[in-house]
């Protein structure tokens, strides 16, 4: 009886794993890749409000403002709203100095912590223009990014557009075992296909845009993942959320795995809270969206549980099936490589064969930690910037 139950658990776990990382990306790409490309590529320049929430960003905020100033767009159609969330470094002084330099720049200095969601809500209320562009203080846009990002809004069916975020490694991170950039390359492939289907709901806070009239105030009583909440609220209303592959933005990855781990714990906790707000999407009328949401998000959030069930069920039933034994052997080798990756990480030595499994394990451990914080209600709307 135990063997039969274990075999069922093994089968379900393996199907969930393969579907999320292999089947879903292939299905979404083959079925929708390049299908819904907007044919009319004429220039379209609506008015834009760029929204940036900042906390202790003295190292990057000046560079960010200068980057915006260098973009190819009619600045008579641009307003940039930056809210400082009671920063206690030199961020406010830098913002005030730039406020005198550019008339399109609007500075808001808050005297008490509101959290990123609270700052975004305040800035959106102050925005006048028709398209909201959300970005971060440490993100850098390519010169034509704004034009590429808003192009699809010429189609009234489009409610949001996600740009392509490219993660780059600095000299400080070259020997760290942080493989976030490789993972993000894989994610961008999926986002491209989702964008062609109009369901690129997993927007990244570094670069995405929505119609202002579709903005839904982000909850601040319980913390949610702001970019995910905004993008899901758009597709929930029945609008398309596209992916603009040529709207490029760049960010440096976290300096080390420890910093990346803290970031993932924070986002994991808020992701579970966001799931509660949009749980009806799992069995909604839009079957494609439901399948995408379940495969790309829900399964990933519960991936640690899936991995644990897969390992122990294959351990129990390995002697009854060569295939199960093979799957168990692959897992053992994978986790052994992760252990080597952990040892190399402490020695500041990086080999992708070992650092990728290590990064995968660390990421899933962060999800578990985030889930515990969510259950215990220990996560907060107040955030700390990742070390620059």
Cβ-contact 196, 246 below 8 angstroms: no
CATH node for 48-259: 3.90.550.10
Interstrand relation of 131-135 and 207-211 (parallel, antiparallel or unpaired): antiparallel
State the DSSP string of 335-387: HHHHHHHHHHHHTT---HHHHHHHHHHHHHHHHHHHHHHHHTT---S---PPP
d(CA 370, CA 374): 6
How far apart (Å, rounded) are the C-alpha atoms in residues 7 and 45? 57
Instruction: Kindly give the confidence (pLDDT) of every residue in the chain, 388 residues in length, as a single tens digit, with 9 standing for 90 and above.
Output: 778 999 999 999 999 999 999 999 888 888 766 555 555 556 789 999 999 999 999 999 999 999 999 999 999 999 999 999 999 999 999 999 998 899 999 999 999 999 999 999 999 999 999 999 999 999 999 999 999 999 999 999 999 999 999 988 765 555 555 577 788 888 888 888 888 888 887 788 899 999 999 999 999 888 899 999 999 999 999 999 999 999 999 998 876 777 788 888 988 999 998 988 898 888 877 888 899 999 999 999 999 999 999 999 999 999 989 999 999 999 999 999 999 999 998 888 888 889 999 999 999 999 999 999 898 877 666 656 655 4
Nearest C-alpha neighbor of 296 from the set 314, 313, 275: 275
- Contact at 8 Å (CB) between 241 and 200? yes
Considering only CA atoms, which of 17, 46, 33 is closest in space to residue 200?
33
pTM for the structure as a whole: 0.90
Q: Where are the domains of the chain?
A: 48-259
Burial 226-246 (b: 16+ CB within 10 A, else e): bbbbbbbbbbbeebbbbbbee
Q: Please count the residues of the chain.
A: 388
CB atoms within 10 A of CB 376: 9
Q: 284-287: long-range contacts at Cβ-Cβ below 8 A with a sequence spacing of 24 or more?
A: 286/235
Distance of CA 256 to the CA centre of its chain: 18
């Amino acid at each position: 009886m135990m063997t039969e139950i274990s075999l069922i658990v093994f089968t379900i776990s393996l199907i969930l794993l393969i579907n999320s990382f292999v089947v879903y990306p292939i299905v979404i790409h083959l079925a929708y890749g390049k299908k819904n490309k907007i044919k009319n590529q004429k220039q379209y320049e609506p008015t834009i409000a760029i929204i940036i929430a900042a906390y202790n960003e003295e190292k990057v905020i000046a560079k960010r403002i200068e980057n915006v100033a260098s973009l190819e767009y009619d600045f008579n159609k641009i307003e940039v709203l930056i809210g400082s969330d009671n920063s206690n470094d030199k961020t406010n002084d830098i913002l005030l100095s730039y406020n005198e330099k550019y008339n399109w720049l609007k500075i808001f200095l808050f005297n008490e912590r509101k959290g990123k969601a609270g700052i975004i809500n305040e800035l959106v209320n102050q925005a006048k223009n028709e398209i909201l562009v959300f970005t971060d203080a440490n993100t850098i846009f390519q010169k034509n990014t704004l034009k590429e990002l808003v192009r699809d809004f010429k189609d009234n069916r489009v409610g949001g557009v996600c740009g392509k975020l490219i993660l780059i490694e600095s000299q400080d991170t070259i020997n760290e075992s942080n493989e976030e950039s490789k993972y993000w390359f894989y994610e961008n492939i999926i986002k491209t296909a989702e964008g062609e289907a109009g369901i690129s709901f997993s927007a990244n806070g570094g670069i995405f845009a929505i119609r202002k009239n579709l903005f839904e105030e982000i909850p601040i009583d319980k913390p949610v993942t702001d970019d995910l909440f905004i993008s899901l609220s758009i597709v929930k209303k029945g609008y398309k959320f596209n992916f603009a592959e040529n709207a490029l933005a760049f960010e440096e990855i976290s300096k080390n795995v420890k910093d990346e781990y803290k970031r993932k714990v924070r986002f994991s906790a808020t992701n579970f809270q966001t799931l509660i707000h949009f749980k009806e999407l799992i069995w909604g009328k839009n079957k494609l969206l439901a399948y995408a949401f379940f495969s790309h998000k829900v399964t990933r959030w519960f991936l640690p549980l899936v991995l644990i069930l897969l390992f122990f069920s294959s351990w129990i039933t390995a002697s009854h099936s060569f295939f199960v034994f093979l799957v168990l052997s692959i897992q053992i080798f994978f986790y052994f490589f992760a252990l080597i990756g952990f040892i190399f990480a402490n020695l500041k030595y990086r080999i992708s064969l070992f650092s990728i499994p290590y990064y995968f394990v660390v990421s899933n451990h962060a999800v578990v930690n985030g889930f515990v914080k969510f259950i215990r209600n220990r996560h907060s709307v107040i955030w700390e910037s990742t070390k620059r």
